[in-house]
Amino acid sequence: MPVPRMSCRHWLRIAAVLVTFAATADAADRTVGDHVTLRNGSKLRGVLLENSDKSVTLLVSAKWLSVTNTKLHQTSRVQTVANNKTGLEQAVRRLKAELPPAGDAAVSAFLKQQLEDVQAELANVDKFDPDFLWLTLPMKDVARVDAATLEHRQLLTWAWAEGLDRAEARSGEELSRDLKSRNVSPVGWPLAFIERLPAREQTDNEWAARRALVDYALGLRLDFQGTGDVLARVGKEAPADVGQLLVELLRQQLQSQFGDLLGERPAKNGQDNATKSESLTKAIQTAESEKRNGFRVTRLDLAIERQESTVTTQFVARLADGSWRSVFQHTERADAKQARPDIEKRIQDDPQVKKVLDLIRQFGVAGDAQIQQAIRFGAATMTAQQICDREFAAFRDVHLPSLVRPTLSVSRGN
């Protein structure tokens, strides 16, 4: 019996059905966390730590891997147990070699407690049964890496921390619903999860970055703030100078409007980047002269034309070789066209701001509309800065409790 010929339209319909089916199947398979597919067909699900040209490092649940890939579970468990012991021994050696910082009781007490804690772990290391395993896979064995969003990675770790069943095989919507039923808000990284991570060996640079964060958080702080290409040192408790910010905003607005008459031009991007680098170099010189190992920089960039305020904050640490690198960075943009009545009122009620506004009105350098827009810029900036502060606090709180976990990437923020 001859096979009936099918028209082009029929083939298009079949293709459309197949595409729809594939898309539906793919959507159903969208689970939280990172996915790594090996060349042998095995699929791994967890949290991606490193993804370089040479290898991929993935953190997975030991329970999940024992069910889905018994052979890989056995080999990776042995390796994780060995790495945990090596990492703890390395931390003990480093902590014993640390010289207690002179005149800094808080940092000294922290280092002493860390040594006691790590030694206690090491005393029971032979009984260690890891809940999570580190898998480092050579790229020659990896066929595909599907990276998740930060929110989905964190959602998976909250599901792990809460012991939710089959967390790796469920959608983000399902896990969020289950966590909500337990009154758990999956924001940031759960400390209960971090405490269960196996230790790993650390590079000299990672250890140096950790120590810089400890010195900054518990010892004398060094902070810089600035707008554009200018950075200025601020005190430990110094608030943002909103009055000065308003003056700067009005100056830039006037320059934007009357730049042709004044013969002024905004700096080009290349020049701006060069001056920013120069200002950061000066901050590093200050840190070195005061023998500090880390400092924080918060920089404000105002886009008058786009009516947008951008705040970038970073933590810069001295590495083992004496070089400096940003190990944390977060940028937040806020729309200055958006009304924020509560924050705007707080700005207007500030005594310093009132004084600046009185002078501006007295000399007639700006109209009410410009002043209102400047205040909205101030409100947008404060909103962006608050978010940056929260992000840095989350980074600090995750890495400060322990000097052995979790991993701190020294390439972050570059």
Region of 344 (left: φ > 0; alpha: ψ -120 to 50; beta: rest) is alpha
Q: Give the pLDDT confidence score for residue 412 in this predicted structure.
A: 43
Cα angle 154-160-161, degrees, rounded to a multiple of 5: 90
Helix axis angle, 172-181 relative to 150-161, nearest 10°? 50
**Dihedral sign, CA of 27, 31, 32, 33?**
negative
Strand order in the sheet with 55-61: 132-138, 55-61, 43-51, 34-38, 142-146
Look up residue 383 and give its amino acid: T
Q: Give the pLDDT confidence score for residue 187 in this predicted structure.
A: 86
Helix (H, G, I), strand (E, B) or coil at 312: strand
Look up residue 111 and give its amino acid: L
Burial class (CB in 10 A: 0-12, 13-18, 19+), 209: buried
Measured between alpha carbons, how far is residue 411 from residues 247, 288, 327 in Å? 37, 21, 6
H or E element in which residue 97 lies: helix 70-97
Q: Give the pLDDT confidence score for residue 250 in this predicted structure.
A: 58
Closest CA to 215 of 45, 412, 399, 383: 399
Helix axis angle, 351-363 relative to 341-349, nearest 10°? 80
Q: Give the pLDDT confidence score for residue 179 in this predicted structure.
A: 95
CB 10 within 8 A of CB 22: no
Q: Give the pair of three-digit tokens for residue 7.
A: 């028209």
Strand order in the sheet with 308-318: 230-234, 223-227, 294-303, 308-318, 324-335
Residue 19's contacts (CB-CB under 8 Å, 6 or more residues apart) are: none
Determine phi and psi for 407, rounding to 5 degrees: -60, 140
CB 80 within 8 A of CB 67: no
Q: Give the pLDDT confidence score for residue 12 in this predicted structure.
A: 35
Residue 253's contacts (CB-CB under 8 Å, 6 or more residues apart) are: 304, 366, 370, 373, 374
Cα of first residue to Cα of last residue in the chain, in angstroms, is 68
**pLDDT tens for the 414 residues of the chain, in order:** 443 444 444 333 433 333 333 333 333 346 889 999 999 999 999 999 888 888 999 999 999 999 999 999 999 999 999 999 999 999 999 999 987 777 789 999 999 999 999 999 999 999 999 999 999 999 999 999 999 998 999 999 999 999 999 999 999 999 999 999 999 999 888 988 999 999 999 999 999 999 999 999 999 899 998 876 778 888 644 445 555 655 565 555 544 443 443 344 444 444 455 556 778 889 999 999 999 999 999 998 888 788 888 999 999 999 999 999 999 999 999 998 899 999 888 888 877 777 777 776 766 655 677 778 888 888 898 899 999 999 999 999 999 999 999 988 886 443
Measured between alpha carbons, how far is residue 241 from residues 232, 304, 312, 398 in Å? 12, 19, 17, 30
CB 41 within 8 A of CB 141: no
Q: Give the pLDDT confidence score for residue 207 in this predicted structure.
A: 96
Q: Give the pLDDT confidence score for residue 10 in this predicted structure.
A: 39
Tell me the C-alpha distance between 325 and 323, whole Å.
Answer: 7
Tell me the C-alpha distance between 214 and 135, whole Å.
Answer: 29
pTM score, two decimals? 0.79
DSSP 24-50: HHHHHT--SSEEEEETTS-EEEEEEEE
**Owner of token pair 């890939």:** 69
Burial class (CB in 10 A: 0-12, 13-18, 19+), 310: middle
